Amino acid sequence: MLHFSCDLCSCSLDEQRFVVRLESYPAFDPDRLEPADMDHDHLQEVADMLDHGGPDDESLESSGAKVFRFDLCPQCYRKFLKDPLGREAVRRLKFSKN
């Protein structure tokens, strides 16, 4: 038997749980292609990357699509629906003036 716990509050999830999937990927606007983009030799660019050891880990990590999956309890799910980007949580932070 699988055991699920809320990814936000860590409470044990029984029958009712909610799955939240977030997907991020680089935006591509085909309407903004320039004639110079069509003249670019992408095959040569790949060959150059292979000759020089390929792209670094940071550029690979930031350029690809990412998918995240979270299991949430009903209370945390309601909180997520009200503020999916966590903007209110940031506004509530109070920093001292040290």
Q: Is 66 within a domain?
A: yes
Residues 6+ apart with CB under 8 A from 8: 70, 72, 73, 76, 79, 80
Q: Is 77 within a domain?
A: yes
Structural domain span for residue 3: 1-25+60-88
Give me the pLDDT at residue 71, please.
96
Q: Is 32 within a domain?
A: no
Give me the pLDDT at residue 45, please.
76
Overall domain count for the chain? 1
Give me the pLDDT at residue 54, please.
58
Q: Where are the alpha helices (DSSP H) in 8-96?
A: 35-39, 42-51, 57-63, 74-82, 87-91
Give me the pLDDT at residue 67, please.
93
Q: Is 12 within a domain?
A: yes
Q: Is 50 within a domain?
A: no
Q: Is 7 within a domain?
A: yes
Give me the pLDDT at residue 27, please.
79
Residues (pLDDT < 70) of the chain are 1, 37, 53-63, 93-95, 98
5 DSSP β-pair partners:
12
